[in-house]
Amino acid sequence: MTVPASDPKSVTGKPLAIAESVDVLVIGAGPAGLEAAIGAAARGFGVLLVDENPVPFRTMGDDVPLHFGQGMAASARNRNAMMEAFVASEPRIAEAFEAGVDLRLGTACWGLYANGPALGWMPGLVAGLADEESSILVQVQHVILACGRRDMGLGFPGWEKPGVMGATAALNLATRYDAFGPRKVVILGSNTEALTTALALRDAGVTIAAIVEQAAEPIGDADLLASLSAGGIEILAGHVVREATGRDGVEAALVAKLDGEGRPIGDERTIACDGIVLAVGATPVIDLIDAAGCKVAFQAERGGYAPVLDASQRTSLANVYAVGDCAGIWADKTRDRAIAEAEAARAVAALGEESAETETVAPSAPGYDISAYRLAWVRASVIEARAEFHVCQCEEVTAREILEVRPPRYLDWQNERRNDRSLSALLGDGPPNPDQVKRLTRAGMGPCQGRRCREQVAALLALGAAQPLSAIPLAGYRAPVRPMALAMTVHVPEAPEQAEHWDTWFGMHAQWVPFWEVPARYTVATNDATGPVASE
């Protein structure tokens, strides 16, 4: 019996242009990634370690990969100086070089692909890498993701002004590059992540004008709080930022007290500052992890949505590991890099070993309810805001438009008859889905890829549905997890046998026969599939 030829328009048998093959790819050269790369090299694996930092100035300006909020000093334009500062700020980078790790800085991983129930085309694990000049595909035996953290965005009137930025971006600029623009900042949030940020910024010479916390009491580590207070830093618990004012950038934060219901009351106080640092919720960077198909779940003890891991840091995908902040963020880990390094060491020890299927030991529960805490911030800052502002800055969508599921403004759609289509009308019998709301309102659909708004949108939906954050599904991530110019795609050539079949949708002649010529019966044997064909 002869095996029929495979459908020529399908992916079957079409080779991918793989530029390189490596034993171990480590993504992210922070404490965990460096430990993983150095450890894997010591075990004799060929190791490629990539880190997108330092990202080009223009990319920082687009708030990719962190919410830089235009808080870069002019010196951040000097790419060579940024590269030197990045290397100098982390001694283990030199150690990785010496250990024989193929280290590529300024190289982002924009996609990770693994075969699964709906994909059989990949030759194995495939990663997409890009630097400023080109984009390539590499095939890897093992991947250790050490992608770090980012910050939940938190809006208020004026939050789009230059100087409003995420804590992780602020820390990177101040402590790794010495390229932090603002001189005097207000910090929002008082958890341990916020307090360590405050201390590090202070040590870098930045004046901390105040720490603003919506909760009645600060919630972070008592020792950190004490050392901040001893330094004369004012901690305003039970307060919220009402507005960031200023002409071309932040010049002041207007803050107000909250009443027992979380509503701003009383006189506002003006605090002069040129930066507002958002530190209300550090979240694991799971874009590659989710896009690759690894199982993720909302885990309060890991800082929100995080990969589901075994005791050796294995994700649900074979040969894919997550270590460091992208595997979960908690207070002790924030304060002690040895915890992240130990995760990396466990992953390295497990490379090539059979899974023992032991469950990971969960970190201890945080001392506060992160869902309630983040929701309280969004209620006080966004819902109770005194003026409308854009929660999604890219697509200019307000909180009200998200909760009312309004069509985008470019449609100028006014139909008074039908103004009752709110979130509750959409819900039916399931939890609100941020991807569904995204499709209808465009919130999260812009070039920042939802980095500034996705946690806020989830919080708004949770508040709208009176559900905890854990009930809101994760808005899905998909490649490219870093924006990629069309012109950058030309470096991965297409197989010629694939290239010749694009002109018809499924390559099926019969599908496009005009209805007046269709025969009464269809069989494969009598189907004429010769000659060229194009779809609609």
Q: Is 175 in the site for other proteins (CB under 8 A)?
A: no
| Kind of pairing between the strands at 164-166 and 149-151 | unpaired
Q: Which part of the chain contacts other proteins (CB under 8 A), choosing from 246-254, 344-352, 379-387, 429-437?
A: 429-437
Q: Which part of the chain contacts other proteins (CB under 8 A), choosing from 66-74, 259-267, 309-317, 472-480?
A: 472-480
Q: Which part of the chain contacts other proteins (CB under 8 A), choosing from 156-164, 365-373, 463-471, 494-502?
A: 494-502
Farthest-apart Cα atoms in the chain, separation: 88
Tell which positions 52-111 bind other proteins, by CB under 8 A. Answer: 111
Backbone phi, psi, residue 288, to 5°:
-65, -40
Closest CB to other proteins among residues 73, 479: 479
Q: Which part of the chain contacts other proteins (CB under 8 A), choosing from 140-148, 216-224, 324-332, 430-438?
A: 430-438
Shortest separation between residue 260's beta carbon and other proteins, angstroms: 37
**Cα 120 from chain centre:** 27
- Token pair in block for residue 453: 């708004």
DSSP code, position 316: S
Tell which positions 432-461 bind other proteins, by CB under 8 A. Answer: 433, 436, 439-440, 442, 445-447, 449
Tell which positions 404-423 bind other proteins, by CB under 8 A. Answer: 407-408, 410-411, 413, 415, 417-418, 421
Shortest separation between residue 193's beta carbon and other proteins, angstroms: 28
| Kind of pairing between the strands at 102-105 and 47-51 | parallel
Q: Is 133 in the site for other proteins (CB under 8 A)?
A: no
- Token pair in block for residue 232: 């004369």
Q: Is 524 in the site for other proteins (CB under 8 A)?
A: yes
Q: Which residues contact 500 (CB under 8 A, 6 or more apart)?
A: none
Distance between CA atoms of 163 and 182, rounded to whole angstroms?
A: 7
Q: Is 113 in the site for other proteins (CB under 8 A)?
A: yes
Q: Which part of the chain contacts other proteins (CB under 8 A), choosing from 65-73, 162-170, 261-269, 481-489?
A: 481-489
Closest CB to other proteins among residues 87, 308: 308
Closest CB to other proteins among residues 287, 325: 287
**Cα 42 from chain centre:** 31
Other CB atoms within 10 Å distance of the CB of residue 204? 15
Shortest separation between residue 20's beta carbon and other proteins, angstroms: 14
Closest CB to other proteins among residues 43, 439: 439
Size, binding site for other proteins by CB under 8 A:
93
Tell which positions 244-263 bind other proteins, by CB under 8 A. Answer: none
Tell which positions 176-195 bind other proteins, by CB under 8 A. Answer: none
Burial of 419 (0-12, 13-18, 19+ CB in 10 A): exposed
Query: Which helix (H) or strand (E) is 161 found in, with range?
Result: none
Burial of 38 (0-12, 13-18, 19+ CB in 10 A): buried
Tell which positions 6-35 bind other proteins, by CB under 8 A. Answer: 6-12, 14, 16
Distance between CA atoms of 116 and 121, rounded to whole angstroms?
A: 10
Q: Which of 84, 203, 336, 503 binds other proteins (CB under 8 A)?
A: 503
Other CB atoms within 10 Å distance of the CB of residue 9? 17
- Token pair in block for residue 80: 């060579």
Best CA proximity match to 106, nearest among 170, 47, 50:
50
- Exposure class string for 234-246: b at 16+ Cβ within 10 A, else e: ebbbbbbbbbbeb
Distance between CA atoms of 70 and 164, rounded to whole angstroms?
A: 8
Q: Is 523 in the site for other proteins (CB under 8 A)?
A: yes
Closest CB to other proteins among residues 9, 79: 9
Tell which positions 288-347 bind other proteins, by CB under 8 A. Answer: 291-293
Q: Which of 91, 353, 518, 528 binds other proteins (CB under 8 A)?
A: 518
Q: Tell me the Ramachandran region of residue 434: left when phi exceeds 0, alpha when psi lies from -120 to 50, beta otherwise.
A: alpha
Tell which positions 378-397 bind other proteins, by CB under 8 A. Answer: 395
Q: Is 475 in the site for other proteins (CB under 8 A)?
A: no
Tell which positions 135-164 bind other proteins, by CB under 8 A. Answer: 135, 137
Helix axes 31-42, 337-350, angle to 10 degrees: 30
Q: Is 490 in the site for other proteins (CB under 8 A)?
A: yes
Q: Is 511 in the site for other proteins (CB under 8 A)?
A: yes
Q: Which residues contact 93 (CB under 8 A, 6 or more apart)?
A: 29, 34, 86, 87, 103
Closest CB to other proteins among residues 182, 450: 450
Q: Which of 42, 88, 119, 387 binds other proteins (CB under 8 A)?
A: 119
